[in-house]
């Protein structure tokens, strides 16, 4: 669960990280929390990040998708987009996450699509739309990440440390 075997990255991004000896799919994964929650990233570029998460196992006491689970999916997707925008010389650090929950989901998969609202030198902001299997909007989120320089290291080496 949570394996990132089928992620589609732009070739120039794959080449940049391969030159650094970095496994791009491992670096831009859902991380330990996302893996426990079943998050799978399907497509990743600075322009669009797509991922899914099962509702089962991520519910609150009423049997609905937990709002915090939606937040984890949103922050994961927006952070991946921000890291890809920043490149290998920067690291993205989330500084603001806002989630509006529109409807509940009781089963199946939800899909999140992150698209940039702003991509600057020091910040990146992404809108993340999470929908159920019928295409109905479950949650709209906005994530802003600070893009920090890594003082002569790379984002890849910082994450591996």
Look up residue 109 and give its DSSP letter.
Answer: E
> Choosing from 43, 56, 75, 133, which is the catalytic residue?
75
Q: Check: CB of residue 110 under 8 Å from CB of residue 73.
A: yes
Q: How far is the C-alpha of 119 from the C-alpha of 82, rounded, in Å?
A: 8
Q: How far is the C-alpha of 156 from the C-alpha of 144, rounded, in Å?
A: 21
Three-state DSSP class for residue 57: coil
Find all residues with CB under 8 Å of 135, minimum gap 6, and list them: none
Is 75 a known active-site residue? yes
Q: In the Cβ-directed half-sphere of 56, how many Cα atoms lie within 13 Å?
A: 4
Q: How far is the C-alpha of 14 from the C-alpha of 3, rounded, in Å?
A: 18
The catalytic residues are 75
């Amino acid at each position: 669960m949570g394996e990132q075997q089928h992620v589609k990255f732009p070739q120039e991004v794959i080449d940049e990280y391969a030159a650094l000896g970095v496994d791009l799919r491992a670096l831009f994964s859902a991380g330990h929390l996302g893996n426990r929650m079943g998050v799978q990233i399907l497509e990743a570029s600075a322009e669009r990040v797509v991922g899914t998460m099962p509702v089962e196992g991520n519910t609150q006491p009423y049997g609905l998708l937990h709002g915090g689970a939606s937040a984890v999916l949103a922050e994961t997707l927006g952070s991946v987009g921000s890291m890809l925008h920043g490149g290998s010389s920067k690291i993205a650090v989330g500084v603001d996450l806002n989630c509006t929950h529109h409807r509940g989901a009781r089963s199946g998969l939800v899909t999140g699509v992150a698209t940039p609202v702003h991509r600057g030198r020091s910040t990146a902001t992404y809108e993340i739309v999470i929908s159920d299997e019928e295409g109905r909007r479950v949650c709209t989120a906005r994530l802003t990440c600070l893009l920090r320089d890594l003082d002569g290291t790379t984002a890849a080496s910082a994450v591996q440390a």
